Amino acid sequence: MYVLALTGGLGSGKSTAAQVFAELGAVVIDLDEVAKVLLDEAPAVRDRVVGAFGDAIVGADGRIDRVALAASAFASDSATQRLNAITHPAILAAVAGALDALALQGEPPRMVVLVVPLLAESPLFLEPVDAVLAISANEETRIERAVARGMSQEDAERRIARQTGDAERREIADYVIENDGDRESFRADVRAFWENEIISREI
């Protein structure tokens, strides 16, 4: 079972790449989705996050309001680091458990893709990984994509400013795919990566 970390900044194209890998038969684990489940279903994680950011991030239904949490967590570098220090170890533990369960299946998947937006910021997520694929795109394009998905330009710019740049991602990446063009060309590049680097590999 080959574990690939898929990383890239906001609007780089990680979701599209993950979709292509899933279509090709990979098991995809999105760490943002794991984080959402932990915030909703892991009381210890939820309580620590509320303790760090206050009751203002709790919605009327008692759940953490992710929009309010994002506004607080991305307000400064120290706030972002505070959230990551709480959530990242819990996310890693959950992912490790999921990978163990997959490995114990009668026929483990050939490839598992971990979508890790903040891999460069949190190297602990490299622990279960065999290789890293970084998706790169220029900042203007990434902001346009984020806005097209419904995010305000100000929010997109703020979030990108809190993330490391493509240069830092390239330093930890075994492979890089550029995504400054159209969606279908990018999907073709991801499929080519699968054919050249995954199918040809003895796993």
The one-character DSSP state at 63 is: S
For the cut 90, the answer to whether the pLDDT of residue 193 exceeds it is yes
Q: Count CB neighbours of 178 within 10 A.
A: 16
| C-beta separation of 148 from 178 below 8 A | no
Domain count across the chain? 1
At residue 201 the predicted structure's pLDDT band, cuts being 50, 70 and 90, is low
Share of the chain above pLDDT 90, in %: 57
Q: How far apart are CA 187 and CA 17, in angstroms?
A: 7
Quick one: pLDDT at residue 173? 95
At residue 47 the predicted structure's pLDDT band, cuts being 50, 70 and 90, is very high
pLDDT digit string (tens) for 138-177?
888 888 888 888 888 888 888 887 778 888 899 999 999 9
Tell me which residue range forms the domain holding 69. 2-199
pLDDT digit string (tens) for 97-153?
999 999 998 888 989 999 998 898 888 899 999 999 999 988 888 888 888 888 888
Quick one: pLDDT at residue 96? 95
Q: How far apart are CA 162 and CA 155, in angstroms?
A: 11
The one-character DSSP state at 13 is: S
> How would you write 71-95 as a 3-class SS string?
HHHCCCHHHHHHHHHHHHHHHHHHH
Q: Provide the CATH number for the domain around residue 38.
A: 3.40.50.300
Which DSSP helix (H) or strand (E) runs through 107?
Answer: none
pTM: 0.87
| CB hemisphere CA count around 182 (13 angstroms) | 2
Q: Count CB neighbours of 156 within 10 A.
A: 20
pLDDT digit string (tens) for 51-95?
999 989 998 888 998 889 988 988 888 988 899 999 999 999 999
For the cut 60, the answer to whether the pLDDT of residue 6 exceeds it is yes
